[in-house]
């Protein structure tokens, strides 16, 4: 058993000078620090000036796109995809995917994400790499049938799911239809039937461009959310991403379904100069989660950056300063993502998964320390992360990925030759 000491923070509470006890894969107890002597603790981490957080849940990622960082700048999303991203992705090899997915996941982990929910091609390679790193990963093989894209053949998605179902404690398969305009209604119905049979999570891009909304309307006479309902996939196992063009009617329909909406404010602000009606969705009862999307376009796999943008951009978009409070945004990054993925995580309580992050807050930006949620959202950087625990195991400590025995700099060095 070991203990993390500091100010314990989750979306429900702030406990100063407390200890989180971990044994096996779970949190055993949360106690005042002065009671620590009553327990047989083998190791202690943290102390005065540290923050103990639930691991951040990065609920929408494309980690291997670390290789594409910086490409296609200042283009709207449809041109970005069709002119830059998709043509480049067609040149991928499995070995490249493994190397760049490792870098993307390692970057996310070092910045406090204990869980990712990834949506990409070559899913087998990404899953195997996640297992090596020790990150908790939900992974789906991207599929499309309305775009000529061999890497996204529908059968690949079903095959990947069957291969990884029940295979690993940390790496779990999901179903990943690309988007409402790239997947036919017939295929989406087939995916929905498979998901119901297996109680699987569905992870889909939703209403992320004007072209998507227009195409679905012309093709089926439906909005993207109505399309999902017609396909039988609009339910509590659906994780929709972006939703920036949802109408008032769609917000109502979506909020009644039990589905999660993943807010990627930075990527959508950059690619479409717009963000989703998150405040309306949240007020209507939708579970909101946060995601970094990918190293391209956001630049950095840092959920603290994502929280900061989510808080600010929602205020700007709604022209109101009383929305997207720091505590709400922190809840989206933790319990919101955990709820979407059906994990008993995101809070620091006995019986919850020991997915935890230790922040070194012995720095000027954390003073005076009276409003911890504000400091977490507006002052914290991923570089403040000192220790990351996944499933009760230390997987990152003082710059070293413990299962690999390597640092980010060493991973960077390994990728340098391909760039020369």
| Percent share of the chain, pLDDT over 70 | 99
Whether 221 shows a pLDDT value over 60: the answer reads yes
Q: According to the model, what pLDDT value does residue 316 have?
A: 97
Q: How many helices (H) and strands (E) are present in the chain, helices listed first?
A: 17, 17
Please enumerate in sequence order all residues whose Cβ is within 8 A of that of 312, keeping only pairs 6 or more positions apart, or say none.
Answer: none
Take residue 132 and report the two structure tokens written for it.
């090596």
Specify whether the CB–CB gap between 121 and 142 falls below 8 A: yes
* Third-level CATH fold of 2-55+347-401: Urease, subunit C; domain 1 (2.30.40)
CA distance 110 to 150: 33
Q: According to the model, what pLDDT value does residue 420 have?
A: 40
CA distance 326 to 118: 26
Q: Indicate the length of the chain as a whole number.
A: 420
Higher-scoring residue by pLDDT: 351, 295: 351
Instruction: Using alpha carbons only, give the angle 346, 350, 354 rounded to the nearest 5 degrees.
Output: 50
Q: According to the model, what pLDDT value does residue 419 have?
A: 42
pLDDT in tens, 309-346: 999 999 999 999 999 999 999 999 999 999 999 999 99
pLDDT in tens, 367-416: 999 999 999 999 999 999 999 999 999 999 999 999 999 998 998 888 76
Local structure of 180: helix, strand or coil: coil
Local structure of 361: helix, strand or coil: coil
Q: According to the model, what pLDDT value does residue 195 have?
A: 98
pLDDT (mean) for 191-218: 97
Assign domain 57-340 to its CATH architecture: Alpha-Beta Barrel (3.20)
Q: According to the model, what pLDDT value does residue 240 have?
A: 98
Split at pLDDT 50, 70, 90, the class of 76 is confident
CA distance 343 to 173: 14
Q: According to the model, what pLDDT value does residue 232 have?
A: 98
Q: What residues does each domain of the chain span? A: 2-55+347-401, 57-340
CA distance 378 to 373: 8
pLDDT in tens, 271-293: 999 999 999 999 999 999 999 99
Nearest of 172, 185, 264 to residue 217 by alpha carbon: 185
Bridge-partner residues for 13, per DSSP?
10
Q: How far is CA 115 from the centre of its chain?
A: 7
Nearest of 136, 137, 156 to residue 145 by alpha carbon: 156
H/E stretch holding 59 reads: strand 56-61
Torsion of CA 242, 142, 219, 261, to 10 degrees: -20
Q: Which residue has the tokens 């909005």?
A: 223
Q: How far is CA 122 from the centre of its chain?
A: 19
Take residue 169 and report the two structure tokens written for it.
């404690």
| Percent share of the chain, pLDDT over 90 | 92
Whether 417 shows a pLDDT value over 80: the answer reads no
Mean pLDDT score across all residues of the chain: 96
Split at pLDDT 50, 70, 90, the class of 81 is confident
Specify whether the CB–CB gap between 275 and 284 falls below 8 A: no
pLDDT in tens, 339-378: 999 999 999 999 999 999 999 999 999 999 999 999 999 9
CA distance 203 to 239: 5
């Amino acid at each position: 058993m070991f203990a993390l000491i500091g100010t314990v923070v989750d979306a429900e509470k702030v406990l100063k000078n407390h200890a989180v006890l971990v044994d096996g894969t779970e949190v055993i107890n949360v106690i005042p620090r002065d009671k620590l002597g009553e327990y047989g603790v083998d190791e202690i981490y943290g102390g005065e000036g540290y923050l103990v957080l639930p691991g951040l849940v990065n609920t929408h990622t494309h980690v291997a796109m670390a290789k594409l960082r910086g490409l296609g700048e200042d283009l709207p999303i449809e041109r970005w995809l069709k002119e830059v991203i998709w043509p480049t992705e067609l040149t991928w090899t499995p070995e490249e995917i493994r190397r760049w997915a490792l870098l993307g996941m390692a970057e996310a982990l070092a910045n406090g994400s204990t869980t990712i929910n990834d949506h990409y091609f070559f899913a087998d390679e990404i899953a195997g790499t996640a297992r090596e790193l020790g990150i908790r990963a939900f992974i789906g093989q991207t599929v499309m049938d309305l775009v000529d894209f061999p890497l996204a053949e529908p059968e690949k998605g079903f095959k990947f799911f069957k291969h990884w179902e029940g295979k690993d404690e940390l790496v779990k398969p999901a179903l990943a239809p690309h988007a409402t305009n790239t997947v036919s209604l017939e295929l989406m119905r087939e995916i929905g039937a498979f998901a119901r049979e297996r109680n699987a999570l569905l992870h889909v891009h939703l209403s992320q461009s004007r072209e998507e909304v227009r195409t679905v309307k012309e093709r089926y006479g439906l909005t993207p959310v109505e399309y999902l309902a017609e396909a039988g996939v609009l339910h509590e196992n659906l994780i929709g991403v972006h939703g920036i063009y949802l109408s008032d009617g769609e917000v109502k329909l979506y909020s009644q379904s039990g589905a999660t909406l993943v807010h990627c404010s930075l990527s959508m602000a950059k690619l479409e100069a717009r963000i989703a009606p998150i405040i309306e969705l949240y007020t209507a009862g939708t579970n909101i989660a946060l995601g970094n999307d990918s190293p391209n376009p956001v630049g950095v796999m840092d959920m603290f950056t994502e929280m900061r943008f989510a808080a600010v951009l929602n205020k700007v978009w709604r022209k109101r300063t009383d929305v997207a409070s720091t505590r709400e945004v922190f809840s989206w990054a933790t319990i919101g993502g955990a709820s979407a993925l059906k994990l008993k995580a995101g809070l620091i309580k006995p019986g919850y998964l020991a997915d935890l992050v230790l922040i070194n807050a012995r720095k000027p930006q954390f003073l005076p320390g009276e409003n911890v949620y504000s400091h977490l959202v507006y002052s914290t950087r991923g570089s403040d992360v000192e220790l990351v625990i996944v499933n009760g195991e230390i997987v990152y400590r003082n710059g070293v990925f413990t299962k690999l025995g390597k640092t980010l700099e060493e991973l960077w060095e390994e990728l340098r030759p391909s760039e020369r």
